[in-house]
Amino acid sequence: MFFIDTSSPVVVLIALGLTLALIYIGKEAKNAYVPLVSLIAFLAVLVIHVVQYTVLNAYSAYAEVIGKCLTVDFIMIFIAYMSYLWVDDIETKEKKKKSIDNSLDWFWKNV
């Protein structure tokens, strides 16, 4: 069965580079939907890995690799989600829109 090995250092660096590029483009364009693309992609990969983990649980060699991939997926989802919130805050301030939730204002002031 084919699976995406996101625990490989090369794949992690490529994914991180693409995520950082989307964050930069979203920040410059002041559009929060651009970093949202990476968040949706990582969530899709997470769902794929969870399904594969449940199917391949009998094969311990694959289960260990997919377990590492799940860890990397959660880290990348955290990075993508925080960047989405950051760019959304920038977009809200630039376009002077009313934000629904300002609970992270204390955090963005320190960034």
pLDDT by 10s per residue, the chain, length 111: 566 788 888 988 999 999 999 999 999 998 889 999 999 999 999 998 888 888 877 676 777 888 888 999 999 999 999 999 888 888 888 888 766 666 667 676 776
Number of domains into which the chain is organized: 1
Q: Structure tokens of 50?
A: 């969870």
Q: 3 lies in a domain?
A: no
Segments in the chain forming alpha helices (H): 9-29, 33-55, 60-94, 105-110
State the number of CA atoms in the 13 A half-sphere of 23 facing the CB: 17
Range of the structural domain that residue 97 is part of: 9-110
Whether 4 maps to a domain, the answer reads no
The C-alpha angle 1, 9, 14, rounded to 5 degrees, equals: 90
Say if pTM beats, i.e. exceeds, 0.85.
no
Is 1 inside any structural domain? no
